[in-house]
Structure 1
Amino acid sequence: MGRCDSCRYYVTVKGQTASRRLCVAGVKAYRSGSRVLNDTVDVMELILVLGKEKLEAMIGRGGENKMACGEFEKGRT
């Protein structure tokens, strides 16, 4: 199993004043391929897809883990 930082779902979420790394493996639109997942995702796109409350909950869960979760898909090295 890999690490979060090499998973395709661990992306940079860019806000107006700051950016942070976040796992978006739980976002169905990215997992299904209905939305293109780039290395950087605008926070407004996530608000449109998830809603503000779900995005805040996702941010609250934290960031990178030493061992990737069961949703790991190789994306970056």
Structure 2
Amino acid sequence: MKVFAAETKRAELTHWLSILPAPLFFLWNPVWVGWIMVLYAAAFNLPIIVVQRYNRGRIDAIVSASNKTGTRSFT
């Protein structure tokens, strides 16, 4: 489970990093195209970021519940 939690962190970071260069499109495109690119980056990356955070929270809850009950967790 710890490996999967780490993968969710990596996936979230990757999607945040893919949003960062969106403002660079203002340098060589008209302003309206730049805003479309920023909106596109947000629309297609933010939902995945939310899902990764949600999954990581659930993984943490499962791991802590299994630690409380003394059952073996998959690490």
Task: Settle same-fold status: TM greater than 0.5.
Answer: no
User: What is the TM-score with the length of structure 1 in the denominator?
Assistant: 0.28
Greater strand content: 1
Greater helix content: 2
Higher relative contact order (CA 8 A, sep 6+): 1
State the structure with more CA Rg.
2
